[in-house]
Amino acid sequence: MQVLTEINDDLARLTQDARNIAVITGAGFSAESGVPTFREAQTGLWERFSAQDLATTDAFYTAPALVWTWYRWRQSLIQQVEPNPGHTALADWQRWLAGRGGELSIATQNVDDLHERAGAQVLAHLHGSIFEHRCAECGVAAELPDPDYDGFQAPPEPEEPPLCADCGAHIRPGVVWFGEMLPMEAFEAAAAAIRKADLVIVAGTSGIVQPAASLPLLALERGTPLIEVNPEPTELSDAMDFCLRGPSGDLLPALAA
């Protein structure tokens, strides 16, 4: 494993020769856009709860207004921020490769839409989307107006989630909570992309949350090179061929150059 803070010749050659790249992104990829990661402390009303405690079905059933408002406030924040140079570099690299018969697939653990807003196609949202909503009981999709919170202010007083027009149960966010299965189609698509890739890049994830964190390890089956982009070491660092230590907003543009 090589631990680098900038691109060396080995790494440059690897990324320039790659024609089929699978990229997995986590909360750290959106951090430079101003979206807090799960490791960071909560603010305001939620500072006494960890994200992990709120992102569960139990929390939603116990305190629907608190959990619902936390998601609608997070959605407001995401709508108020912009993709960062890491998102743009990935989108440009994807377009450049597609123009040469290659492929760059993105599987993200993030529930935001910043990859898409940077112009990228996303193969898999492994943990769902904060922009989707459905009935917690009958599962029917719910189309809701955007929240009008100010994501830059501390979250507001909790408000009750809307009720399903069909069955009257609470509407919930279209994300995967702890203890819930991941969408199998998304998970399988990400696994297939990694299995056929000639380079795998893991950026902005602590590699703690399963089963998403086990996906990059599929690259080991065929000896596909693995690159980590993260300012810190992670649970996955030991499996990497290159650990690029720094923010993805700086390093992805350098990698994609």
Contacting ligand BV8 (CB under 6 A), which of 10, 47, 166, 180? 180
Per CB under 6 A, 83 contacts ligand BV8: no
Question: Across-strand partners of 200?
Answer: 22, 226
211 Cβ contact partners less than 8 Å away, ≥ 6 residues apart: 182, 187
From the list 61-69, 92-100, 148-156, 204-212, the region that binds ligand BV8 by CB under 6 A is 204-212
Q: Which of 209, 215, 219, 255 binds ligand BV8 (CB under 6 A)?
A: 209
205 marked ligand binding residue: yes
Binding site for Zn ion (CB under 5 A): 135, 137-138, 164, 166-167, 169
Alpha helices in 22-63 (DSSP H): 27-31, 51-54, 57-62
Cβ atoms of 123 and 189 within 8 Å: the answer is: yes
What are the Cα distances from residue 86, in Å, to 2, 16, 29, 136, 196?
22, 17, 7, 34, 24
181 binds ligand BV8 (CB under 6 A): yes
Among 21, 26, 151, 155, binds ligand BV8 (CB under 6 A): 26
Angle subtended at Cα 114 by Cα 38 and Cα 30, rounded to the nearest 5 degrees: 35
What is the spatial distance between Cα 161 and Cα 144, in angstroms, rounded to a whole number? 11
| Options 18, 22, 31, 226; binder of ligand BV8; rule CB under 6 A | 31
Q: Does 166 bind ligand BV8 (CB under 6 A)?
A: no
Terminal-residue alpha carbon distance, the chain? 22
Q: What are phi and psi of 220, to 5 degrees?
A: -70, -25
Q: Could you say which of Zn ion, ligand BV8, none residue 230 binds, taking C-beta under 5 to 8 angstroms by partner kind?
A: ligand BV8
Choose from ligand BV8, Zn ion, none: what does 155 bind? Cβ within 5-8 Å by kind: none
Phi then psi for residue 69, to 5 deg, are -65, -35
> Contact region for ligand BV8 (CB under 6 A) — 6-14, 150-158, 162-170, 242-250?
242-250
Q: Which of 87, 115, 125, 127 is catalytic?
A: 127
127 catalytic residue (yes or no): yes
**CA angle centred on 36, ends 88 and 231, rounded to 5°:** 65
Interface with ligand BV8 by CB under 6 A: which residues? 26-28, 31-32, 37-39, 52, 55, 109, 111, 127, 175-181, 203-206, 208-210, 212, 229-232, 234, 247-249
Annotated binding site for NAD(+): 109-112, 204-206, 230-232, 248
Active-site positions?
127
